[in-house]
Amino acid sequence: MNVVPGSAAALIELNGITKTYGQGQAAFQALHGIDLAIAEGEFVAIMGPSGSGKSTAMNILGCLDTPSSGTYRFQGTHVEQLSRNQRALLRRHYLGFVFQGFNLLARTSAQENVELPLLYRGESAAARHAAALNALASVGLQGWEHHTPSELSGGQQQRVAIARAIVTQPTVLLADEPTGNLDSKTSHEIMSLLTALNREHGITILMVTHEPDMARYAQRIVHFLDGMVDSDTRNGGQS
């Protein structure tokens, strides 16, 4: 197994990953043989211009898409060989997702939004309630459990979305432009929260961002260009 320099054995390994959309003259190759290893507990920012392949790579990492060729190993399992249902189980039990647009149910309370992943997993009502309350408290929303998204600020809505992503205690949190809809002050508050989840809970975080000041919170910055990894550098991160 490949090893990231200065780290333990990789949690995630992409080797020779390609992705082609369409066929014949209409074919477009979004990824051109990506090699990437991510160790457990890392906080990695993924950057690059539109069309660079970073979103395609994140979709493959999140088991939302499959590569055209190459291997994707998650804890040693060959994800590219899994069935659609097996990939869904991997997502449900190991991955959490945070999106730019929050993706909360409008007429549903913060607590009920956070409980949704546990409902899909068949957890009991008591277990769902307890886990949701704990997750909301961990993102600083104790006392806001019964408010709907329209009663919350943008920053609070993103905190609910993060609580929903971590309520299942995922191994990896994938965040797609998590501060894209937020003002500067709130963006830094959300990044501080993600940093704390990484450092204090050991959650591996993969974050797509266009913002260099947000990327500086990560330990590592991977820059995509023209469907390839253009650079992969260590970063001190912000305290």
Overall number of domains in the chain: 1
Look at residue 127 and tell me if it is in a domain: no
pLDDT at position 37, please?
Answer: 96
Look at residue 111 and tell me if it is in a domain: no
CATH of the domain at 192: 3.40.50.300
pLDDT at position 120, please?
Answer: 85
pTM: 0.89
Both tokens of residue 213?
A: 């000041």
Look at residue 113 and tell me if it is in a domain: no
Look at residue 135 and tell me if it is in a domain: no
Beta carbons of 32 and 52 less than 8 angstroms apart = no
Beta carbons of 203 and 171 less than 8 angstroms apart = yes
Q: What is the pLDDT along the chain (239 residues), one digit of tens a residue?
A: 333 333 446 899 999 999 999 988 889 999 999 999 999 999 999 999 999 999 999 999 999 999 999 999 999 999 999 999 999 999 989 999 998 888 899 999 999 999 999 998 889 999 999 999 999 999 999 999 999 999 999 999 999 999 999 999 999 999 999 998 899 999 999 999 999 999 999 999 999 999 999 999 999 999 999 999 999 999 864 44
Q: Is 160 exposed, middle or buried (0-12, 13-18, 19+ CB in 10 A)?
A: buried
Which residues face 19 on adjacent strands?
31
Range of the domain at 218: 10-104+154-234
